[in-house]
Amino acid sequence: MVFKSGKQQANADALSRLPLQTMMGDIPIPKDTVFFVALDRSNTAVSVKQICEWTSKDVVLSLVRSAVKQGNWSIVPDNPEISQFRRRENELSLQDDCVLWGNRVVVPQVGREAVMGILHEGHPGASCMKSLARGVVWWPGMDSDLDAKVKQC
């Protein structure tokens, strides 16, 4: 570094000369940062093994998983719970015995409360929770479940 006096600096802007009113330690951390730090705790994560076990015990998802694995939806009974998945049959796949819709993990009934708890850490609000959830998980009625979770808070 070489010192240059102010007269020799041609492009000094106003902000480089503006004194700070507060110390750097007093600047608040944005809410999004706190939320993502809260999500990053490994003890709250849901593992692939858990999703797989829950899927095996879930009556509907175990049937859906069998239909996807065999590529044969005629083995699945036609009922309202299955129809949500049948409509998406060309978009469903399996990864490590977990059902995926596109790139989103289909969460079995028993694991939904745990997933919503993780999404709700940091109290981000309904729209942020939905936005985060839509990138990684799905289940029928997910949006209304997330709204209900926020209203309980």
pLDDT of residue 10: 62
Three-class SS state of 33: helix
pLDDT of residue 32: 45
pLDDT of residue 141: 93
- In the sheet with 92-95, reading across from the earlier edge strand, the strands are 92-95, 98-101, 104-106, 137-138
pLDDT of residue 93: 92
pLDDT of residue 30: 46
Task: Provide the β-strand partners of residue 99.
Answer: 94
Distance in angstroms (rounded) separating the CA atoms of residues 93 and 13: 56
What are the residues whose beta carbons fall under 8 Å from the beta carbon of 50, sequence distance 6 or more? 111
Report the candidate in 33, 132, 128, 46 with the shortest Cα–Cα distance to residue 150: 128
| Contact present, 78 and 103 (Cβ < 8 Å) | no
pLDDT, tens digit, 9 for 90 and up, residues 54-107? 999 999 999 999 999 999 898 888 888 888 999 999 999 998 889 999 888 999
Residue 9's pLDDT band (cuts 50, 70, 90): low
Distance in angstroms (rounded) separating the CA atoms of residues 143 and 137: 11
pLDDT of residue 69: 92
CB-based burial label for 41 (10 Å; 0-12, 13-18, 19+) = exposed
Torsions phi, psi of 54, nearest 5? -60, -40
